[in-house]
Amino acid sequence: MNEATHFGFNKKLAEYYEETTLKEILLARKFLKLKLPENPSQMLVISSLLHILHGNRPYALSRRSHPIVPYAPQGEFVYKNLIEKLTNKVERTLQVVLPFNFIPGKIYNQDSTSIWPQEINNLDAVITSPLFFDSTRFYLANWIRIWFSGWSENDFKYQINSYIEEKQKKDFAVYESIFRQARERLKRGGVCVFHLGKSVKCDMAEVLEKVSKRWFNTIDLFVENVEHCESHGIRDKGTVTSHQYLVLQ
Q: pLDDT tens digit string along 127-136?
A: 999 888 766 6
Residue-level pLDDT at 229: 61
Same domain? For 9 and 82 the reply is yes
Instruction: Decide if 155 is inside a domain.
Output: no
Q: Which residues contact 184 (CB under 8 A, 6 or more apart)?
A: none
Same domain? For 189 and 76 the reply is no
Same domain? For 83 and 129 the reply is no
Residue-level pLDDT at 201: 85
Structurally, the chain folds into a number of domains equal to: 2
Range of the domain at 197: 123-133+168-248
Residue-level pLDDT at 136: 62
Same domain? For 233 and 174 the reply is yes
Closest by Cα among 201, 220, 199 to 209: 220
Same domain? For 67 and 179 the reply is no
Residue-level pLDDT at 165: 80
Q: Report the predicted TM-score, pTM, of the whole model to 2 decimal places.
A: 0.82
Let me know how long the chain is. Answer: 249
Burial class (CB in 10 A: 0-12, 13-18, 19+), 31: exposed
Residue-level pLDDT at 236: 47
Residue-level pLDDT at 143: 93
Same domain? For 129 and 217 the reply is yes
Backbone angles phi, psi at 118, to 5 degrees: -60, -30
Residue-level pLDDT at 248: 97
List, for the chain, all residue ranges whose pLDDT scores fall below the cut of 70.
1, 134-137, 227-238
